[in-house]
Every structure is written in C-alpha cells, then in structure tokens.
Amino acid sequence: MFGSGLTKGTKLKTIKDMPEHARPREKLRERGPQALTDEELVAAILGMGTAGVDVRTIAKQVAGLIREHKDKLSLDHLLTVPGMGLAKAAQILSAFELARRHLLKETIKIVCAKDILPLVSDIAGKQQEHFVCISLNGANEVIEKRIVTIGLINKSPVHPREVFADVIADRAAAVIFVHNHPSGELQPSESDLNIHRQLTEAGKILGIQVLDHVIVNRKGYYSFRETGLLTHQT
C-alpha cells in the first residue's frame, strides 16, 4: 500500500510554511483563480485559520461540504467545521451569494415569442421607447439581455454597430430584438421595418441569426416571426 507521506507526529505545513509561489493567494495572482483547487480557493477566501486549526485543514473540510451540499450549503453546515466561526462562515456564504446574484443565471430557452415576454416586462409600460437586444447561444438559450437605446427610434436611430458589438463579444449564435410602443399601437411603423431590415442584413453578414423582432406594450405583443415579417436568413 502507498502511504500518505506523513509519519506519526509529522505536522502538516501551514500556509506560512509553504513556498510563496505555492500559497493560494500568490498562486491566484500568478496563474489566475482557475488554477486553484477547491481547497485552495476556500483557503484564499479565508486567508488564515484559527488557534490550533490551520486554514488548510479548515479549507479541506469546507470544500467537502460545498461538494456535498452545493447550493444548499448553510451556516449550520459550515459551523460544524472546527475552527470555522461565524466570521469565516459569513465570508464563504457571502461569496456564494454574490456569485448567485451576478454570475449564476437560470437557463432560459426561447421557443416562441411568449417566452420572451417575462424578460422584457420591465419596458412594456415605459413612456419612452426602449430598444432591447437579447443574445442567444446555438441552443436558443439566453446569454444576455441589453437595452441598446432609449428614446423614439425614429429620432434616436438604432445602429447595427451598437446592436451587434456586445452580441459578438458574447459569441452569440442568434439575437432577438424587442422594443416597446408607448403609444399603445402594436403594429410596426415604417421606421421599425426599415431598422429591422438593416439589422437583419447586418446579422447575415456577421453570421448571427435574427430569430425574432417583438414589439410590446402593456396589453400584448407583436412578433415579426409569427406574422411572417421576419426576413428569412440562410
């Protein structure tokens, strides 16, 4: 059998005993967070242990709890770890909550125009016209929703460069355009049709498919795709 490499009475090295380049925070600085193990990431968050319990020992147990409980990880779980008091548990849970709020997004797949409506309910009743671009991956899952312009479209032109700049950065396969009509009229105006044609042509050049263009107000929506106005893309 292979031994653990530690004989009886051998003391586990603390962070301070390790070469500087191997310490979690220094390793993160030099190689980025993706280069760290789960235990090292926890140790980088905590920084130090407590009297009698080294941070590496705490980090190993916390990483195990994270793998076991995932998003169900609680304060009670963390407080079972020796050396993990309220302050350190709060550091871990706070990091989780920030990631949950700003990085971990529910996967939303768009199948039809009605799937878009919950994403743009915030602009339906606006008194100014908002033009929104929704970028999607190859499975028609939402990557990001962005407000491109605010104001009357015919007075504040929507330029393909502004619309597609972030879409390209997202490495999106497709887009959906949405704008509201403060007047309450759902039928597209001549300006709407012209802008849609320009954006669709730009999408063709860039290899980004325009899946739909939707007009919304408080009472309902108008889908270019459902009404046959969507320019076909090959």
Same domain for 69 and 127, yes or no, is: no
Between CA 108 and CA 117, with CA 113 as vertex, the angle to 5 degrees is 65
DSSP state at residue 52: T
| Domain membership flag for residue 142 | yes
In a domain, 92, yes or no: yes
Pick from 100, 52, 218, 33: nearest CA to 43: 33
Mean pLDDT of 29-37: 87
**Distance (Å, whole) CA 34 – CA 181:** 45
Domains: count for the chain: 2
pLDDT one-digit tens code per residue, 113-148: 999 999 999 999 898 899 999 999 999 999 999 999
Predicted TM-score of the model (pTM): 0.58
Whether 137 is in a domain gets the answer: yes
Residue 5 has pLDDT above 80, yes or no: no
Q: Which of 102, 124, 158 is the last residue of a domain?
A: 102
Reported as a single tens digit per residue, the pLDDT across 86-102 is 999 999 999 988 887 77
Q: What confidence score (pLDDT) does residue 1 get?
A: 35
Q: What are residue 214's DSSP bridge partners?
A: 178, 223
H or E stretch including 136?
strand 130-136
71 and 118 fall within a common domain? no
In this prediction, residue 14 carries a pLDDT of 65
Task: Decide if 212 contacts 133 (C-beta within 8 A).
Answer: no
**Structural domain contains residue 47:** yes
117 plus 208 within the same structural domain: yes
- Residue 16's pLDDT is 66
Residue 231 lies inside a defined structural domain of this protein: no
Residue length of the chain:
234
CATH label of the domain that carries residue 134: 3.40.140.10
Question: Parallel, antiparallel, or unpaired for β 174-180 and 209-216?
Answer: parallel
User: Mean pLDDT lowest for which of 128-142, 178-192, 218-232?
Assistant: 218-232
The whole-number pLDDT of residue 233 equals 46
The DSSP output letter for 228 is T
Range of the domain at 73: 15-102
233 is a domain residue: no
Q: What is the mean pLDDT of the chain?
A: 86
**Please, which residues have CB within 8 angstroms of residue 14's CB and are 6 or more apart in sequence?**
49, 54, 55, 56
